[in-house]
Structure 1
């Protein structure tokens, strides 16, 4: 009897402790369950919150409606549960900071526990979740992290029968080689086994290191391209999204050119052939396919648009009328030639330089030059010429000192890439080094007496860092503009005084001297204002990874699509084109349908355009009239730069 009393007493004490620390079982269903914790969790929560609040996107089978729980299906608040081996108080504090300004339609519950213990999985109602995202845990070696995920996946398979349609997505970082490649094969075997048990498991391979290098190279070569990616990947009501939709039966076998012209309110990029062909059992992505290619039976169309219910409009003649105009436009003599870019990279971790060089070789204009300022002499394996680029190296003890930047040619640089100085380390310290280096770059730009500021790209790890950086440069721009306005007023007053003195022959020399001094001060103020860095592009790879993960959870085919567009050095890429390459002059109105036809005639697919590198207008209606300015660019997917 005494032993039984002790057991009951211990159970009661454990229940009281759980109640006090909020670690009691979750009583919910149809929720999104995040297992493990890593640096992408805050960004994931922001994405889910944005999806749940997106107007006109709830319900149905769209990328937001399919994402998960009740809110995205048309009623109530979206419920998210997090289970991780991390103090609950820490998770709660991070969740609060992440969602305090945007969490009105999302309800988050955190529980401390182990994702590979059946009792803990039952505590978070894993068997009743609509979607489970198995994250790569922070703070573990690659092998340990994969073992944790594999054990959790086995526990999920062993749980009670999951609800119909429950999906489990496992995050797979790394670059596919070495241990990462072994882990990918290991998890793929686990997925196959789980499917035998009737579970829908999917591995989302997201090579974060490779992604960072490619995005930095692409953004340095094409200002504004990262803005386009964010607009596509971020879930909010105003942004277009990639969508994979079953092709209507009546379109099967028709030429792709005919199929894409039937959709007016979205852009048809290509299709996913679920069969993949006899030699390829995996789904095959065909982006920007030849116009004569027949649409396979059972294929999914890949669309970019805002309307989840886009339908073909067979009676529309919009594209058929635009096609001959586009052909006539391209028959005219084209004199446009792309200009090579001059790029400076400072503070980049030395072990990552060869991979960044590979990105520049693939993604920059022909004849471009990239100068790396590094802390040591270049080793023999660093390339001096590859693909479209030639590479120079400048050794300096402090690569971001203003004098070093000036000597390296910042005066003539189109883009300056600012690295974190060293790989790894705490997020706050890494981002602090980037911000400190940006201040030195700004100092060097002003001291170089160049006309205008270069485009600046900086990889960061915290969402708050981009806010701080933009705020700093906005304040700097406002202050220099205020000084410019004051100098202009002083110069105008001095010029009027000099003119009056000259007319009256009284103190003309002194007045002229004051006018000259005021004019000099005005020129200096103008130069300082022009030299302020405008809209630096902060690349947070974690935000991109989280956005892709969110979309993969919503739509399984998204993983295949992003592998083609973001992670693979081969195949189709996102590019920015000068409208002049299509014989479109600034100030000339042109319907988007004609622009789209001109792009197709040059082997590309037009997705939209971007204003001055800042405002992306993607997937406009086919009848939308475009008037390009001198700094605007056309957004396309194409195989070659």
Structure 2
């Protein structure tokens, strides 16, 4: 054949000698590729390990059936190997993808070399660049149409291979990110805030912390939450609830507050403060014992590490007897010499807030007053403790005049906290006092401006208002006609508090379907109690008992249902009273007091009763969250909130305008009202206007006019008891 083509034997031999090195290179590359495939297969756990054992084919099996079995077997092998590969670490998956690309590159290079007459090296390089979309690789510069077509096909195939590689890498990154987000690893924060357990006050507390952080009142470090709940669920709930709040970093971990290992996971022993919430567990004794264990671990850990332990703030719904107080026992056991503990305090209040309902019934607007003082916000006043050398050794009479834009309400000394002290009480050597202010900077500005002087031209001299106050006696409040709709576990306590506050001639009617103990219906010398055994949710009951003619209505929904059901019960009662009052068209509507669980329900209640009457809505969780926040920021305030919510000690009251001004008074300085209040050993904190507008701690150099219906907010021993409301005698 060579002779027929005109080739001689010599030329053929020369050609053969020239091709031998090139074929040797090709064979070497093929051997290398095969070796790589063998290694990859070995890393993958073997290809033959998943091969199905051969089964004897039936005598009647056809060749097509045998081929289909082999195809299915190969598909199963491929799927299994792919699953094994994608279970490897990232570097293993990338290696397998690159190994799988080797035969593809060689095959594509062979086709391209055939149509372009390029050398093997150039063909492989171009094919690799095109398949992997390497920058600078141009697939449009080919000179003939065949190479152009092949080049574009290679680029098209490369879209899929490169997409697989990018998909694997991005999936690995995404999985690592999810692992970090949903992981339960140790938190390496220090001087942070740790919150243990989850309950209904958690979200209000976090919202308050976010506001406090935005106002520069501590909490600069992240908040770490440890609760026995799913981490992803906690993260989703917190993100949803705090989306309208100022920025706050909250790190969550799943675990148990009483488990020392879980406490170590959130680095609790090096935290600045640890807030132990009352868990939403069903068994009260179990919850209390777990809180005691958490406190024991936290205070023991502080001694073990050799450093100062965190401040520990424990939430307690009710005051427990000494024999049942496991938390107090844990504190006593850890009080050992050498242990450097942080501050410890208990925030009572869930049970104590029953008094706020009674207070709001007798003094409309009471809930708004407490919200203003207990909730952290940009437009409200709060309690602060403050120390300054210029205050040390001064009497309270001298010190309170040094504060122009804020209000001094108490002092702290070796004997503890004194809220509403007498004029002669002395401030301790540290100059520590308790002040009501918009923020701490206003307190500092007051002190800096006075430079230790207590002279204030806007405050009359001590004793100068004595004769004026003799013409402004404290008046006996008018009798109250109160109706309580419904009955729950808190009702007896609220009834007791209302009886303490009720002026002479008052009456309380209980409307519910429960059989009440006769001792509850005794009343006292100032107020009688009557029980009507009827369904309080029916309009006919309310109409028959003339509820819309009462002075005040307290709604007590059953507590054996969820929050939404309780809210619907309360809103339904408000709607019935609103309808009856509007239909009567007498110009009178009772003041309504109700506890609700959400801001939305509160807005609905206020809108429903707007233009008809006044309503005090108590957001229980918000108030408790606010108290926890302020005590967490300053543990010295724990005793203060006990004072305000207990039955003993100085309390907040609202007195009518004509108990501070005479008919001849037009506008007077607020400093003058403050001095007049001191004539009764009281402290004037602000003004509740007749339209419900509240101004706490006005400037003492501001002129104010008190009109009929206005009330002055005071810190006083009693509301109307004759022995305590007389003006001081000279």
**TM-score (norm: length of structure 2):** 0.68
C-alpha distance after superposition, 1:119-160 (max 9, x if no partner) = 322332324422211111112422211221222233333377
Aligned to 2:547: 410
C-alpha distance after superposition, 1:309-364 (max 9, x if no partner) = 14155152336536565323223365954322221110131x43331122112233
- Aligned partners of 1:172 and 1:204 also within 8 Å: yes
Aligned to 1:208: 350
1:594 counterpart (648, 672, 675): 672
Distance in 2, matches of 1:261 and 1:553, equals 29
1:548 counterpart (620, 624, 627): 627
Aligned to 1:615: 693
- Aligned partners of 2:485 and 2:511 also within 8 Å: yes
Aligned to 1:61: none
In the TM superposition, what are the counterparts of 1:439-518 in structure 2 within 5 Å?
439-473=575-609, 477=610
Q: What is the deviation of 1:594?
A: 0.8
Distance in 1, matches of 2:292 and 2:474, equals 57
Distance in 2, matches of 1:388 and 1:557, equals 37
- Aligned partners of 1:399 and 1:405 also within 8 Å: yes
1:46 counterpart (202, 207, 215): 207
In the TM superposition, what are the counterparts of 1:99-138 in structure 2 within 5 Å?
99-103=242-246, 105-138=247-280
Aligned to 2:425: 293
1:28 counterpart (189, 192, 213): 189
Aligned to 1:145: 287
Aligned to 2:503: 365
C-alpha distance after superposition, 1:451-470 (max 9, x if no partner) = 23221110123344223433
Q: What is the deviation of 1:107?
A: 1.3
Distance in 2, matches of 1:610 and 1:625, equals 16
In the TM superposition, what are the counterparts of 1:305-454 in structure 2 within 5 Å?
305-306=437-438, 307-309=442-444, 310-311=446-447, 313-314=452-453, 316-318=455-457, 321=460, 323=462, 326-332=465-471, 334=473, 336-349=475-488, 351-386=489-524, 388-396=526-534, 398-420=535-557, 422-454=558-590
Gaps of 5+ in 2: 1-86, 91-174, 720-730
Q: 1:149 to 1:353 in 2, by over 3 A?
A: closer
Aligned to 2:128: none
Distance in 2, matches of 1:37 and 1:583, equals 50
In the TM superposition, what are the counterparts of 1:245-256 in structure 2 within 5 Å?
245-246=386-387, 248=389, 251-252=392-393, 254-256=394-396
- Aligned partners of 2:199 and 2:278 also within 8 Å: yes
Aligned to 2:237: 94
Q: What is the deviation of 1:368?
A: 2.3
More displaced stretch, 238-247 vs 581-590:
581-590
CA RMSD of aligned residues (A): 3.1
Q: Name the larger-Rg structure.
A: 2
Greater relative CO, 1 or 2 (CA 8 Å, sep 6+): 1
In the TM superposition, what are the counterparts of 1:230-245 in structure 2 within 5 Å?
230-245=371-386
Asked if residue 624 in structure 1 is aligned to residue 666 in structure 2, the reply is no
- Aligned partners of 1:347 and 1:418 also within 8 Å: yes
Q: What is the deviation of 1:442?
A: 1.8
- Provide the aligned length of Structure 1 versus Structure 2: 541
Gaps of 5+ in 1: 1-8, 59-63, 71-78, 277-282, 478-529
Aligned to 2:226, the other structure's residue is in SS state strand
Aligned to 1:386, the other structure's residue is in SS state coil
Distance in 2, matches of 1:572 and 1:627, equals 27
Aligned to 1:493: none
More displaced stretch, 555-564 vs 380-389:
380-389
C-alpha distance after superposition, 1:500-536 (max 9, x if no partner) = xxxxxxxxxxxxxxxxxxxxxxxxxxxxxx5x344x2
More displaced stretch, 228-237 vs 170-179:
170-179
2:367 counterpart (216, 226, 248): 226
Aligned to 1:382, the other structure's residue is in SS state helix
Q: What is the deviation of 1:164?
A: 5.4
